Amino acid sequence: MTPKVPRILSSKATTSTADFICAPATAAGARSAIAVIRGSGSAAENLSVFDALADVFVTSRGKKAPELTARTAHYGNIVDGDEFIDDVLFFRFNGPNSFTGEDSFEIHCHGNPLIVRSILALLYRKGFRSAEPGEFTRRAYLNGKLGLNAAQAVAEVIEARSQLSLKAAHRFSRGTFRHELLSLRSQLMNLAADLNAELDFIDEDITFATLEIKLAILQRVRLATEKLARDAQRFDAIRSGVNIAIVGAPNAGKSSLMNRLIGHERSIVSDIAGTTRDYIEAELEIQGVNVRLFDTAGLREDSADTIENIGIERTRELIGRAHICLLIADGSLAPATLTDLLPAESSAQILLAVNKCDNLHADWAIRRETTKSDSPEIFISALTGEGFSALIDAFGRITADLAPQDAVPLSVWQIQLLNGIAALMQSAAELLQQRELPELITHQVTRAIDSMSELTGDISSEDILGRIFSRFCIGK
């Protein structure tokens, strides 16, 4: 079977796809047990990448790259003339049975940047150029080895900074998004086929979908595309991490809490009110979600200290950017309203925690006793660790809410296309209800189908014709 090559509307490639390319496939500049260099290129003028490597790699039995079998680990040396560079494992992949679809290879050398650089320099002299970012995957896509979504997912899988992002990327690479779109597209194609057939077979005795059925399809597609766009947008907002600002009165124990959450003494703790002046940032993972924690200057209105006041101003600014605002009350003091100190325009979800529950003020103790499990506050102690699992559970609930569980990581252009489809569905439904000409409705539906094909990476609008002929017996 020949691979299905996508139709490309415009190619952004600035460099030739005929070039032989190479690049380190493992983290550059780091020392490690093994480093991998990969290369790829299609044979041109009877010269393959393996011919270009003829004098570069020699096995321990004296075989050279052009004579090696594919998909086998070959042990040997990388040499530059008489000079030995490293002993390596060499893998050969013959196009089209490779990741890129071209002839390609991997060199597994020792993980020293000096060795990697020497091998790359040698490859450059043998006619390879340095690959551009994503160029191997782009070639895989251009050669029909990988769908557009799967190609996009490769980057997402590598870039994911939390278990949540990783799962979203896997959903993408497994084709969840593509399958959903294909199913929606198929419904629209049937609809378009019906609309076209109504025009073509106006005098024939054929029953077509009713107005209700057509409207139902349009609504289903609109709701589904709106949800995909909305979920992707929500996911995007926390992709680089959920921001949690720890705020509260001075001395409430914010820095102690931060230190306990991250497991080391990051923030200075003291019994002097106003210890933390600027905000302090730390990253951690809470229940699979990447979290950026900010310890802030205590909020109070009557500070005479200029520096502390700047700190308080910064805290307010930070609350504006936070997804969650963890408001800490000092449980050793009588309850006071803290929410007054928060900026009104904040959209952050507020979580109330009463710290120092190991040394609780009588009023707090009564409140805790009377509200029990209905309590809006979580009682914690940064000193003993009490209540921290409840606090983490509360974070987990909010982040699960912020991050839709079935979202896929989409780019802005994809979200725009999805919203565009939803708008087309809306206008098609209006036209249908106004009993407009089927051509007008078909036009909207066809545009939506094209957008879907762009989203799935296979652009083909001739498919509609095929649908018409397969669903109706034209030859009767």
- Confirm or reject binding of residue 251 to ligand GTP (CB under 6 A): yes
Q: Which residue has the tokens 């490690």?
A: 32
- Confirm or reject binding of residue 442 to ligand GTP (CB under 6 A): no
- Confirm or reject binding of residue 252 to ligand GTP (CB under 6 A): yes
Residue 54 or 383 with smaller CB distance to ligand GTP = 383
Taking contact as CB under 6 A, which single stretch among the options 24-32, 52-60, 131-139, 271-279 is the one that binds ligand GTP?
Answer: 271-279
Q: Which residue has the tokens 């310890």?
A: 295
Residue 67 or 278 with smaller CB distance to ligand GTP = 278
# of chain residues touching ligand GTP (CB under 6 A): 22
Query: 148-157 burial, b for 16+ CB within 10 Å, e for fewer?
Result: bbbbbbbebb
> With CB cut-offs between 5 and 8 Å by kind, which of Mg ion, ligand GTP, none does residue 356 bind?
ligand GTP
R_g of the chain computed on alpha carbons:
31
Q: Which of residues 296-355 bind ligand GTP (CB under 6 A)?
A: 298, 355
* Contact pick of 100, 143, 152, 255 for Mg ion (by CB under 5 A): 255
Assigned token pair, 451 = 């957008």
| Cis omega (within 30 of 0) for bond into 113 | no
Residue 126 or 300 with smaller CB distance to ligand GTP = 300
* Interatomic CA distance for residues 376 and 370, integer angstroms: 12
- Confirm or reject binding of residue 383 to ligand GTP (CB under 6 A): yes
Residue 90 or 294 with smaller CB distance to ligand GTP = 294
Amino acid at residue number 91: F
State the helix-helix crossing angle for 388-402 and 211-239, rounded to 10 degrees: 130
Nearest distance from C-beta of residue 172 to Mg ion, angstroms = 41
> With CB cut-offs between 5 and 8 Å by kind, which of Mg ion, ligand GTP, none does residue 460 bind?
none
Amino acid at residue number 460: S
Residue 96 or 274 with smaller CB distance to ligand GTP = 274
3-state helix, strand, coil in the chain (%, to 5): 45, 20, 35
271 CA to centre of own chain: 43
C-alpha angle 170-420-410 in degrees, rounded to nearest 5: 20
Name every residue whose Cβ is closer than 8 Å to that of residue 84 and which is 6 or more positions away in sequence. 77, 78
- Confirm or reject binding of residue 42 to Mg ion (CB under 5 A): no
Sketch the per residue contact string, 258 through 297, with Mg ion: x for CB under 5 A, - otherwise.
Answer: -----------------xx---------------------
* Interatomic CA distance for residues 405 and 234, integer angstroms: 11
- Confirm or reject binding of residue 225 to Mg ion (CB under 5 A): no
C-alpha closest to that of 190 among 216, 229, 224:
216
- Confirm or reject binding of residue 269 to ligand GTP (CB under 6 A): yes
What are the residues binding ligand GTP (CB under 6 A)? 250-256, 269-271, 273-276, 298, 355-356, 358-359, 381-383
What are the residues binding Mg ion (CB under 5 A)? 254-255, 275-276
